[in-house]
């Protein structure tokens, strides 16, 4: 019998219906009754008061009398009898009344008083005999022996469980460097073989701890179910596990319709995004043309629409999430929303500016641009910032909002998309004493001698101003290599000096004061004739004739 009880406790979750199973006589009564209990076993229920005794007091008195019977050393089962009187039918033991059955009890039970009393008497006999048997020395010894047997079995189970996990530990160590070769993501090694083995060992150790805890938790109900006076604790311990599991199971079952709804929304959104990605790829490759829509808009537009679709999907599935209507869930969401709105105003401004710049098509990665006083090549465009690498190899990060609020010069667009190319220009100032035709020719020769400067269209010169001491000549030359602007300008300036020196033109700007008589010209000696000599001072004496007297 104790073994059967232990097994029933182990599998109680198959039969428990949310409350402790209790036995009662075969009487079906409508209403709330008070149980008569012996050793936590409900014998029957009392539904009516008698005289000045309430049904609670009546049930307590009957329980006390039945308990006294169970403590009788020489209890005689056949001494429990039913005696019918005029007003009541009584269950007596020897000369003591245990319970009186009234007409009101018979009316509620819808059975004769004698039949009800016989049922009560039979239940009292069986319960008292069973209680005496459970409390007998022989029964206690059997139960103690059974408990010792359970402990021995548990000891061997724990021992073999530990051996099993030690075997698993040893196998994990042996597979280190063989099957456990580490975890790599592209070229980054996230886990070395040693770390991977350590992670797996930690997980297995945690599983062993949980397994041992579960075995101990199972042991306690089994031990408690062996002894009658601790049998209630066994059911309580099992309910500690069964009740949460039942709630979780019922919660999962009740959540299935919402889960299916979320699944449908996610699947539909996934395939819509997949279709939009296909369209974006077709537009980006030029296979699908949309009037007024540029190819380089395809990818950013797809990213924006995808973000909006996922945001809309999250808003739709929000009411179907478990706990979404709870005050805690709503409070956390409001708190996060406030943090995001307070701390991301500048970030949102940069994001909006990044979107605007995308559709403005001001520049793309690799373009040589000028933003304010920063000139360089675009190396990265993000939703928040743009990174530019200058000709000095400096990486400068510029917020998109700053770019949107200033003007941007793109040198690469003109050099690649224009038929003539980008116009590079530089200005020199030459004195009025040099013929302008000679200056024009020298500047054009300097431009044509510079690598990466186009000969067609031909370079040209503009006289931009006639100043007080000199004339401003602006050289304009075409090029298709905007990325080499600094070197081209440097070469143009070098060639201007060479060509002007070859032509015998002195660059006396912006203000150069020289006294020609007795001073050497500013042209380098390599460009001067071999017989060149510094001119001497020219001094002329003017003699004034005296008038003759007439």
Contact present, 282 and 288 (Cβ < 8 Å): yes
Per-residue confidence at 549, pLDDT binned at 50, 70, 90? low
73-99: pLDDT as tens digits? 567 778 888 888 888 898 898 888 889
Q: What is the pTM of this model?
A: 0.46
140-150: pLDDT as tens digits? 787 788 889 99
d(CA 182, CA 195): 8
Of the candidates 433, 409, 534, 545, the one whose C-alpha atom is nearest the C-alpha of residue 482 is 409
214-266: pLDDT as tens digits? 898 888 888 888 876 677 777 788 788 888 888 888 888 888 888 899 999 99
What is the pLDDT, as a whole number, of residue 230?
Answer: 76
What is the pLDDT, as a whole number, of residue 15?
Answer: 36
* Apex 487 CA angle, 481 and 493, nearest 5: 115
The residue count of the chain comes to 550
What is the pLDDT, as a whole number, of residue 190?
Answer: 76
Is the pLDDT at 21 greater than 50? The verdict is no
Output 7 or 280, whichever has higher pLDDT. Answer: 280
The answer to whether domain 362-412 has CATH 3.10.20.90 is no
Most confident of 168-172, 337-341, 357-361: 168-172
Per-residue confidence at 26, pLDDT binned at 50, 70, 90? very low
Residues 6+ apart with CB under 8 A from 33: 45, 46, 47, 55
461-515: pLDDT as tens digits? 999 999 888 899 999 999 988 888 889 999 999 999 999 999 988 887 655 554 5
Class of the domain covering 418-527 = alpha beta
Cα torsion for 350, 353, 355, 357, to the nearest 10°? -130
Q: Residue 505 is inside which H or E element, if any?
A: none
Mean pLDDT, all residues of the chain: 81
Per-domain residue ranges for the chain?
Answer: 2-135, 139-226, 263-346, 362-412, 418-527
Per-residue confidence at 547, pLDDT binned at 50, 70, 90? low
What is the pLDDT, as a whole number, of residue 126?
Answer: 85
């Amino acid at each position: 019998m104790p073994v059967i009880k232990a097994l029933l406790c182990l599998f109680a979750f198959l039969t428990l219906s949310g409350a402790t199973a209790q036995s009662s006589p075969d009487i079906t009564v409508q209403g709330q009754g008070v149980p008569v209990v012996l050793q936590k076993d409900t014998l029957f229920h009392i539904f009516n008061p008698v005289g000045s005794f309430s049904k609670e007091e009546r049930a307590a008195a009957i329980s006390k009398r039945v308990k006294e019977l169970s403590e009788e050393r020489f209890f005689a089962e056949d001494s429990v009898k039913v005696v019918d009187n005029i007003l009541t039918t009584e269950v007596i033991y020897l000369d003591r009344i245990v319970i009186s059955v009234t007409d009101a009890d018979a009316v509620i039970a819808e059975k004769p008083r004698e039949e009800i009393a016989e049922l009560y008497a039979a239940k009292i006999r069986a319960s008292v005999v069973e209680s005496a048997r459970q409390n007998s020395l022989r029964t206690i010894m059997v139960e103690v022996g059974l408990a010792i047997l359970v402990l021995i079995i548990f000891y061997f189970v724990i021992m073999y469980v530990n051996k099993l996990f030690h075997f698993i530990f040893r196998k994990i160590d042996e597979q280190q460097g063989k099957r456990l070769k580490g975890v790599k993501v592209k070229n980054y090694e996230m886990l070395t073989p040693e770390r991977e083995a350590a992670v797996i060992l930690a997980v297995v150790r945690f599983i062993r701890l949980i397994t041992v805890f579960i075995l101990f938790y199972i042991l306690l109900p089994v031990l408690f179910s062996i002894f009658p006076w601790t049998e209630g604790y066994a059911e309580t311990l099992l309910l500690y596990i069964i009740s949460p599991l039942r709630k979780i199971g019922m919660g999962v079952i009740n959540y299935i319709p919402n889960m299916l709804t979320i699944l449908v929304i996610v699947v539909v959104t996934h395939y819509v995004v997949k279709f939009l990605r296909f369209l974006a790829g077709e537009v980006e490759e030029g296979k699908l043309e949309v009037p007024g829509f540029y190819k380089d808009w395809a990818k950013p537009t797809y990213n924006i629409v995808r973000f909006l679709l996922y945001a809309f999907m999250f808003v739709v599935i929000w009411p179907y999430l478990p706990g979404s209507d709870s005050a805690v869930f709503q409070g956390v969401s409001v708190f996060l929303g406030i943090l995001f709105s307070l701390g991301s105003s500048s970030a949102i401004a940069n994001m909006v500016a990044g979107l605007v710049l995308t559709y403005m098509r001001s520049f793309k990665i690799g373009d040589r641009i000028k933003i304010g006083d920063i000139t360089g090549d675009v190396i990265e465009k993000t939703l928040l910032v743009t990174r530019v690498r200058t000709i000095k190899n400096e990486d400068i990060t510029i917020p998109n909002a700053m770019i949107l609020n200033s003007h941007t010069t793109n040198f690469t667009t003109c050099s690649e998309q224009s038929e003539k190319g980008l116009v590079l220009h530089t200005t020199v100032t030459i004195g009025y004493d040099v013929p302008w035709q000679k200056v024009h020719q020298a500047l054009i020769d300097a431009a044509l001698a510079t690598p990466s400067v186009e000969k067609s269209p031909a370079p040209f010169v503009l006289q931009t101003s006639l100043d007080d001491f000199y004339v401003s000549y602006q050289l304009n030359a075409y090029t298709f290599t905007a990325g080499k602007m600094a070197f081209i300008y440097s070469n143009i300036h070098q060639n201007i000096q060479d060509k002007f020196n070859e032509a015998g033109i002195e660059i006396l700007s912006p203000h150069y004061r020289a006294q020609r008589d007795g001073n050497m010209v500013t042209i380098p000696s390599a460009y001067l004739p071999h017989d060149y000599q510094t001119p001497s001072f020219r001094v002329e004496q003017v003699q004034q004739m005296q008038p003759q007297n007439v």
